[in-house]
Amino acid sequence: MKDALSQGEFGLIDQIRRQFGDLTHEGMTGIGDDCAILSQGHGRSWVVTTDMLVEEVHFLRAYISPFDLGYKSLAVNLSDVAAMGVAPCASFLSLALPAGLPEGWIEAFLEGYHALSVRYNVPLLGGDTTSSRDGLSISVTALGQGEDTHLKCRKDARPGDILFVTGRLGDSAQGLHDLLDGRLDSPFIPIHHHPEPAVEEGVWLGSQSAVHAMMDLSDGLASDLRHILKASWVKAEVSVEKIPTRVPVELAVAGGEDYQLLCTVEAQDAPLVQQQFEARFGRPLYPIGRIVEGEPVLIWRQKGQEIHPDWKGFTHF
């Protein structure tokens, strides 16, 4: 008997997209970007995203503090909103809670979720609470709102664009690696457990018309960039030595959970965007390669030479 999961996460998403392709609403764009887009008319749209975190798949409850888990549950969703180029404006939280959580656990979880909600003034507008027979499951839906002209989609990369990331890659993956290896004093573990979504960066990049395509890095550059390439039907060349990282490059490109933004910028405007980003945020926007015409293939270069490493992104199956 074939296991229903053998087609993998992206196979299942493709199947759902095909099966539900007969249902559309004017002004709504669904599966295929970090968020769905729902036009509200008058030049503005809502964006909506949802993510599920499951115990022993996305986190180990023995290692992550409830505060960090609450913070992270919202962070991964705000990162998806930011990747659309607009500001988050509301969230919904559903919890399936196993018996026997220690006293204060839920309170600390909610404090972490609340801390990030306060930081970006994102009210919690609803959700669901239930018990669970086994592990803890957390489902968050986040909404954002902004001008249609600020929305950044995966399909808008153009040949000639410069490819940028908003920060260092691989720290989170190194943290997970160290955690699973039992090196519990690793300074990377807190980064894995407490990601900071690039909300202000996303909103600013959204306001720049020179920024074409954008997405957040959640499954690792090697996997995520391919979504932009397929959606835009373009090729990318990435210079491995330009990837900002302080860990082995394989973790930086294939590790996942970076929650930095990846964007493509019109080449002639790229120096100005880079300069203004650094002036505003006090840290660089890192150019790592460029978009070129061609089939959606990701070319890695090291010192100018094409290389063929076996780097794949993270999938949840």
Q: Which of residues 297-316 bind a copy of itself (CB under 8 A)?
A: 316
**Which 72-101 residues touch a copy of itself, going by CB under 8 A?**
89-90, 92-97, 99-101
9 binds a copy of itself (CB under 8 A): yes
What is the distance between the alpha carbons of residues 71 and 164, in angstroms, rounded to a whole number?
26
65 binds a copy of itself (CB under 8 A): no
Pairing of strands 211-216, 124-132: unpaired
Return the range that interacts with a copy of itself (CB under 8 A); candidates 108-116, 156-164, 253-261, 296-304.
Answer: 108-116
200 binds a copy of itself (CB under 8 A): no
- SS3 for 259? coil
Query: 246, 170 in Cβ contact below 8 A?
Result: yes
Q: Show Cβ contacts of residue 71 under 8 Å, excluding neighbours closer than 6 positions.
A: 112, 113, 115, 116, 194
Candidate residues 73, 79, 139, 232; the one interacting with a copy of itself per rule CB under 8 A = 139
Return the range that interacts with a copy of itself (CB under 8 A); candidates 102-110, 185-193, 239-247, 298-306.
Answer: 102-110
Return the range that interacts with a copy of itself (CB under 8 A); candidates 48-56, 254-262, 288-296, 298-306.
Answer: 48-56
Query: 257, 218 in Cβ contact below 8 A?
Result: yes
129 binds a copy of itself (CB under 8 A): yes
57 binds a copy of itself (CB under 8 A): yes
Binding-site size for a copy of itself (CB under 8 A) equals 80
Candidate residues 62, 82, 143, 305; the one interacting with a copy of itself per rule CB under 8 A = 143
What is the distance between the alpha carbons of residues 291 and 22, in angstroms, rounded to a whole number?
33
What is the distance between the alpha carbons of residues 129 and 93, in angstroms, rounded to a whole number?
8
- At closest approach, how far in Å is the CB of 121 from a copy of itself? 6
- At closest approach, how far in Å is the CB of 100 from a copy of itself? 7
49 binds a copy of itself (CB under 8 A): yes
Q: Show Cβ contacts of residue 291 under 8 Å, excluding neighbours closer than 6 positions.
A: 157, 158, 159, 160, 161, 162, 163, 232, 234, 235, 236, 264
User: Shortest CA distance to 223 belongs to which of 193, 189, 250?
Assistant: 250
User: Which CB sits closer to a copy of itself, 106 or 292?
Assistant: 106
* Distance of alpha carbon 138 from the chain centroid: 17
User: Which CB sits closer to a copy of itself, 233 or 317?
Assistant: 317
